[in-house]
Amino acid sequence: MMLLEFFYYIGYFLDKRYKLKRQKRLPHKVISIGNITVGGTGKTPATIAIAEEAKRRGFSPIILTRGYKGRAKGPCFVTPSLHHSIAPSLLFGDEPVLMAERLKDVPIVKCSDRYEGGMFALQHLSTNSPILFILDDGFQHRRLYRDMDIVLIDGLNPFGNRRMLPIGPMREPLKELKRADIFVATKAKNKALSDELGNINPEAPVYFSEYRIHKVRDMDGNEYPIEMLKDKKVYAFCGIANPDSFRQTVLSVAEEARGFRAYRDHYKYTKTDMDYLKKQCKYLTCDFLITTEKDMVKLKELNLPEKILCIEIGFFIDKAFFDYIFNCLIENFDIIAT
- Give the 3-state secondary structure percentages of the chain, helix then strand then coil, rounded to 5: 35, 25, 40
At 23 the pLDDT is 97
Average pLDDT over residues 308-312: 95
The whole-angstrom separation of Cα 185 and Cα 153 is 5
Strands (E) located in the chain: 29-34, 60-65, 76-77, 108-110, 131-136, 148-154, 182-186, 206-218, 223-224, 233-238, 256-262, 288-292, 308-317
At 85 the pLDDT is 66
User: What is the chain's alpha carbon radius of gyration, rounded to the nearest angstrom?
Assistant: 20
pTM beyond 0.75, yes or no = yes
Q: Given a cut of 70, is residue 335 above it in pLDDT?
A: no
Q: Given a cut of 50, is residue 336 above it in pLDDT?
A: no
Per-residue pLDDT of 237-246, as tens digits, reads: 999 988 998 9
At 116 the pLDDT is 97
Per-residue pLDDT of 129-162, as tens digits, reads: 999 999 999 999 999 999 999 999 999 999 999 9
Q: Given a cut of 80, is residue 40 above it in pLDDT?
A: no
What are the φ/ψ torsions at residue 248 (nearest 5 degrees)?
A: -65, -35
Instruction: Catalogue all structural domains in the chain, each as residue range(s) with its CATH number.
Output: 3-210+316-332 (3.40.50.300), 214-314 (3.40.50)
What are the φ/ψ torsions at residue 280 (nearest 5 degrees)?
A: -65, -40
Per-residue pLDDT of 247-299, as tens digits, reads: 999 999 998 899 999 999 989 999 999 999 999 999 999 999 999 999 999 88
Tally of CB atoms within 10 A around 139: 23
| Higher-scoring residue by pLDDT: 111, 188 | 111
